[in-house]
Amino acid sequence: MNDAHIMQMFTDVGAIVTGGHFVYTSGRHSSVYINKDAVYLHTETISALCKLMVGRYNPEQIDVVVGPVLGGIVLSQWAAHHLNKRRTDGETLAVYAEKASDGLEKQFFFGRGYNQHIAGKNILVVEDVLTTGGSARQVIELVRSLGGNVMGLSALCNRGNVRPTDVCGVIVSALVSIDLDTYAPGACPLCKANVPVSTELGKGKSFLVG
Contact indicator for 59, 89 with CB cutoff of 8 Å: no
38-77: pLDDT as tens digits: 999 999 999 999 999 999 999 999 999 999 998 899 999 9
Residue 157 and residue 71: Cα distance in Å, rounded? 13
- Strand (E) positions, 74-137? 93-99, 108-109, 122-130
pLDDT at 105 over 70: no
Q: Name residues whose C-beta falls within 8 Å of residue 50's C-beta, 6 or more positions apart in sequence.
A: 75, 78, 79, 81, 82, 126
Confidence of residue 98 (pLDDT cuts 50, 70, 90): very high
88-97: pLDDT as tens digits: 999 999 999 9
pLDDT of residue 1: 66
Range(s) of the domain holding residue 142: 4-209
pTM of the model: 0.89
Number of structural domains in the chain: 1
Q: What is the CATH number of the domain that holds 82?
A: 3.40.50.2020
pLDDT of residue 102: 62
